[in-house]
A and B are shown apart, each in its own frame.
Chain A
Amino acid sequence: MAASVRCFLRSGKNAVSALGQRGFHKSAPVAVQMMVRDALNQAMDEELERDERVFLLGEEVAQYDGAYKVSRGLWKKYGDKRIIDTPITEMGFAGIAVGAAFAGLRPICEFMTFNFSMQAIDQVINSAAKTYYMSAGQQSVPIVFRGPNGASAGVAAQHSQCFAAWYAHCPGLKVVSPWSAEDAKGLLKSAIRDDNPVVFLENELMYGVPFEMSEESQSKDFTIPIGKAKVERQGTHVTLVTHSRYVSYCLDAAVVLAKEGIECEVINLRTIRPMDVESIETSVMKTNHLVTVEGGWPQFGVGAEICARIMEGPAFNYLDSPATRVTGVDIPMPYAKLLEDN
């Protein structure tokens, strides 16, 4: 069974866009479709309007309207003071963003992709994540680091790494990974309102995917709590735990498996750290089987952590077979399409 899930997940990429049309939310009759990028844009717009201390900085976020157009229109509306184009100096501007947070502002620091955040990772970890603890609560750091994470299409090894495991390793950070447009909007608003450093991992391939937005998600005060997973599909035979783009893959796989009489329960983590282990445990205690699905590399990854936590908790006794991890292949990302798809 694991093999067929794995096999299907690998070829599930084509199903992503088709999937987006189907609303898995039981939403109210007034359904609005919104792409993930527009949901992110709306979230930032609403929070910029709500709190004067919020501002956005990053490469091309202002006059270019955002490298991936996520910040389109914001500079026109809010101007130079609040939407700031930076030079290509990640370590510098990430440090500046953290310093601004020290002094009472609420920055959103965009990394064009999280691959570039590696240049600034010292500021994220040592200056942002650890400061509240080192200062024994005197200095808080209300900052959001956001940008596309993980694989894109054809951008090759240096632009395709998933950083979920790296950032989620560190105490003092919250790490969020939305899937749908509603996730994106609600979680980004929560992240901006949170008084702590939040690493917000988007996915470039999801930006253009439309989702139905429930009526409640259209409110300016709509937030999704950080730290709570969501069961996207109920099932009884196997639990699929995943995040970001791979939620689509799992839902696709679930449809195929349903035809074979296997009902999958798909859990969208939404937050990597702090992880909602209880939701996973509750599900595993019902289905007795666990598969984790992610795009990142297998070693020391998100799936590895889930397996370890399940082993340490009450759900272990309910497993009928060892948990399985479906991950990216343990190699740098190749360029050729055939290779990348596999």
Chain B
Amino acid sequence: MLTNISNVLRACAQRNGAAAVVSARTYADFTTEASFEIKKCDIHKLDEAPATEVVLTRDEGLQYYRTMQTIRRMELKADQLYKQKIIRGFCHLYDGQEACAVGIEAGINLTDHLITAYRAHGYTLTRGGTVREIMAELTGRRGGIAKGKGGSMHMYTKHFYGGNGIVGAQVPLGAGVALACKYLENNQLCVSLYGDGAANQGQIFEAYNMAALWKLPAIFICENNRYGMGTSVERSAANTDYYKRGDYIPGLRVDGMDVLCVREATKLAADHCRSGKGPILMELLTYRYHGHSMSDPGVSYRTREEIQEVRGKSDPISLLKDRMLSNNMASVEELKEIDVAVRKEIEDAAQYATTDPEPPLEELCNHIFHNNPPLEVRGVNPWTKLKSVS
């Protein structure tokens, strides 16, 4: 594994043509793993909280760093493309929240299931999508992960059910996926994510009730980024302790800016589900740097100082970087090389996403039904008969 990383990094260095010295030190000089203190989680109806001392290996650290940086750069690129009007419609960016997506995935397996709402680009990546496919979907091209038919809010991969536009609807859906896991006895679980704004939705409580009644292997996760669009949590919830809102469902409140905190909590939650104890709730305290969507500057309901403060003190990527550097788990140059590689990946993807052609008009009516003989679809007027195949 170490050899692989070093090969990749060396290759990156060569590609850039820079005569950069990769590192005077050999990779054997780095610490392979270290222990870190993480914040204690608040717990609700649980006997014990996740451990506060956790181990991070060098490999894990580099992987988390790379993935978070990829999400960060991808979202910033999307911001650019949106301002150039190459991406249109809705675009809800995830920068600032990277530790949530990466930490959760680190605590579960790819064979588990996950569903979220519309701020979904980060999860599409952690669940197996490529940057190319994601960006091409944002620009509505045929190479997009949903062939250009879904857009920002409707991206799917294996065991990832989107990308859902209706606030809160994804939570009962996720509970249903968990029901299937229990029914099929496959020891899998389903993570259902929602925001602080969605947390007051009635259907979420309906899902809590059935998940608890039937002991479904469901992890309900509230990504509390303090604002539901323009409404702060104090103005929308009578009880802002979202991890307690499941009442009879055990819950934990987690520092969502620390990828290790998120990972440990997710592991505890996953064990809880897999042992047949039923659902569990997690609240991740996180923050989004962008506004609610690209139409929201994000400064009318919060101050620039607040945003700056979070960026300065709690940025998830900086937190991980500092940890790794101060424990000799990586070098500055090495991380810079990862940055460069990520930047290149994003540039390539953006290039692809802007040059790939749009889906052909013949595809307009396809994918209405599955396993169906071809059918005729009425077009804009009665004599326009279009064809739809499965």
Interface residue ranges, A against B (CB under 8 Å): 55, 81, 84, 86-87, 89, 91-105, 122-123, 126-127, 131-140, 142, 171-172, 174, 195-196, 274, 312-313
Cβ of A200 to closest chain B Cβ, rounded Å:
16
Pairwise interchain contact B149-A95, C-beta atoms closer than 8 A? no
Specify which chain A residues have a CB less than 8 angstroms from the CB of B190 in the assembled complex.
Answer: 99, 103
With both beta carbons as reference points, the residue of chain B lying nearest to A96 in the complex is identified as B176
Pairwise interchain contact B210-A274, C-beta atoms closer than 8 A? no
Pairwise interchain contact B210-A103, C-beta atoms closer than 8 A? no
Pairs A–B under 8 Å by Cβ, sample size 29: A55-B183, A89-B203, A92-B206, A95-B169, A95-B207, A96-B175, A96-B176, A98-B176, A99-B172, A99-B178, A99-B179, A99-B190, A100-B183, A101-B176, A102-B173, A102-B177, A103-B184, A105-B183, A123-B169, A123-B172, A133-B367, A135-B367, A136-B150, A136-B367, A137-B147, A137-B390, A172-B368, A195-B371, A196-B369
* CB contact list, B282-296 vs A, under 8 A: none
Contact with A along B159-175 (1 / 0, CB 8 A): 00111111001011111
Contact with A along B210-251 (1 / 0, CB 8 A): 100110000000000000000000000000000000000000
* CB contact list, B132-184 vs A, under 8 A: 146-150, 154, 156, 161-166, 169, 171-181, 183-184
When chains A and B are docked, how far (Å) is the Cα of A140 from the Cα of B163? 15
Question: Number of B interface residues, CB 8 Å?
Answer: 49
Decide if B357 is an interface residue (CB 8 Å cutoff): no
Pairwise interchain contact B180-A95, C-beta atoms closer than 8 A? no
When chains A and B are docked, how far (Å) is the Cα of A274 from the Cα of B213? 38
With both beta carbons as reference points, the residue of chain A lying nearest to B172 in the complex is identified as A95
Decide if B372 is an interface residue (CB 8 Å cutoff): yes
When chains A and B are docked, how far (Å) is the Cα of A196 from the Cα of B209? 28
When chains A and B are docked, how far (Å) is the Cα of A84 from the Cα of B180? 13
Cβ of B160 to closest chain A Cβ, rounded Å:
10
When chains A and B are docked, how far (Å) is the Cα of A263 from the Cα of B154? 53
Specify which chain B residues have a CB less than 8 angstroms from the CB of A274 in the assembled complex.
Answer: 375
With both beta carbons as reference points, the residue of chain A lying nearest to B202 in the complex is identified as A91
Specify which chain B residues have a CB less than 8 angstroms from the CB of A174 in the assembled complex.
Answer: 369
Pairwise interchain contact B169-A127, C-beta atoms closer than 8 A? yes
Decide if B17 is an interface residue (CB 8 Å cutoff): no
Cβ of B49 to closest chain A Cβ, rounded Å:
29
Across the A-B interface, give the 9 residue pairs with the lowest CB-CB distance, nearest first. Answer: A99-B176, A95-B172, A92-B206, A103-B180, A136-B147, A312-B382, A99-B173, A140-B370, A89-B206
Pairwise interchain contact B166-A126, C-beta atoms closer than 8 A? yes
When chains A and B are docked, how far (Å) is the Cα of A313 from the Cα of B176? 43
Decide if B366 is an interface residue (CB 8 Å cutoff): yes
Decide if B113 is an interface residue (CB 8 Å cutoff): yes
Known: A95-B172, A96-B172. A127 touches B164 (CB 8 A): yes
Pairwise interchain contact A133-B368, C-beta atoms closer than 8 A? yes
Specify which chain A residues have a CB less than 8 angstroms from the CB of B366 in the assembled complex.
Answer: 136-137
Specify which chain A residues have a CB less than 8 angstroms from the CB of B113 in the assembled complex.
Answer: 103
Pairwise interchain contact A196-B180, C-beta atoms closer than 8 A? no
Specify which chain A residues have a CB less than 8 angstroms from the CB of B146 in the assembled complex.
Answer: 134-136, 138
With both beta carbons as reference points, the residue of chain B lying nearest to A94 in the complex is identified as B172
Pairwise interchain contact B183-A81, C-beta atoms closer than 8 A? yes
Pairwise interchain contact A96-B371, C-beta atoms closer than 8 A? no
Known contacts A87-B209, A89-B210, A99-B173; can you find 13 more A-B pairs with CB under 8 A? A81-B183, A86-B210, A92-B175, A95-B172, A95-B176, A105-B180, A131-B162, A132-B367, A133-B368, A134-B149, A137-B390, A139-B161, A313-B382
Contact of B172 among A84, A91, A104, A142 (CB under 8 A): A91
